[in-house]
Amino acid sequence: MSGHREMKRRVFFVSDRTGITVETLGQSLLTQFPGFEFATRTLPFVTNQAAAYSAAETIRAATREDGLPPLVFSTLTDPATQYIIASSGEHVFDLFGTFIEPLEGALGRESSHTAGRMHGIGDILAYERRLTALNFTLSHDDGLGTRDLHEAEIVLVGVSRCGKTPTCLYLSMHYSLKAGNYPLTDDDFEQIKLPKILESSRRVLYGLTILPEQLSRIRSQRRPEGGYSTLAQCQSEVARAEQLFRKEGIPYLDTTTVSIEEIAATIVRDKGLR
């Protein structure tokens, strides 16, 4: 077997806004090809032809350096800037144009080709709801702000490092949900009983669990010293957390091989939040 390491395939996400939408769509497509490794880069705020020419040159430079054309995903709304990006390589996927033309035909009207509408920035009320949810989540992370935790629309419960914080942030940013989370510790496991602080939030509780082996690896990267990351400690915590979930009737999900997006969508579905 050769010791040569295969080069990662370069991927560019091109957007006339922040790039969140094109990243999400592009990454979702790339996950369907688990045998490949990708080196991704986002080129945001391509709002005029000068920026488009600069982005196109960056893409061409990658082709020259790698000897292989990169994959390019774009969500540009302006046809002129999209044309410049489309001419930059062999594999350019226009995620916006793919759907706009069929929609125009179905609705019998041309689109506005306005950047930013996909995020609803023009909807002030929706924007304010998202900010309110995000502020709540940030102030109720990892057991903080428990005094008004009852105001949360969802509270994630689980052992430390099982994915509670990133999932809460995703829920607040993409679903505008006030999400809090509470870390279960050895003190909470003494009686295998719901911590008193969570009693008022019982109806919105949702548990996260994880394979002990994966938890041990994650903890070892963050805090390798002491007993916090040992497999035995992780096995004990996970077993007791799941026992608590079952005893208290708290629905829970194994996050070991599930993306943050899928975890959030599952929680929203299971709790009827949309």
Domain boundaries, the chain: 9-119, 124-270
For position 66, what pLDDT does the model report? 95
Q: Find the mean pLDDT for residues 222-245.
A: 93
- Please, what is the Cα angle at 53 between 52 and 58, to 5 degrees? 95
For position 171, what pLDDT does the model report? 96
- Region of 186 (left: φ > 0; alpha: ψ -120 to 50; beta: rest) is alpha
Q: Find the mean pLDDT for residues 224-233.
A: 90
Domain 124-270 has CATH 3.40.50: yes
Tokens representing residue 71 in the block: 């994959």
Position 52 confidence tier, pLDDT thresholds 50, 70, 90 = very high
Position 222 confidence tier, pLDDT thresholds 50, 70, 90 = confident
For position 61, what pLDDT does the model report? 97
CA dihedral 113, 114, 119, 123 (to 10 degrees): -130
For position 96, what pLDDT does the model report? 85
- Between the CA of residue 74 and those of 98, 158, 244, what are the distances in Å? 10, 38, 46
For position 4, what pLDDT does the model report? 40
| Rounded Cα gap, residues 14 and 11, in angstroms | 10
- Check if the beta carbon of residue 271 is closer than 8 Å to that of residue 205: no
Domain 9-119 has CATH 3.30.70: no
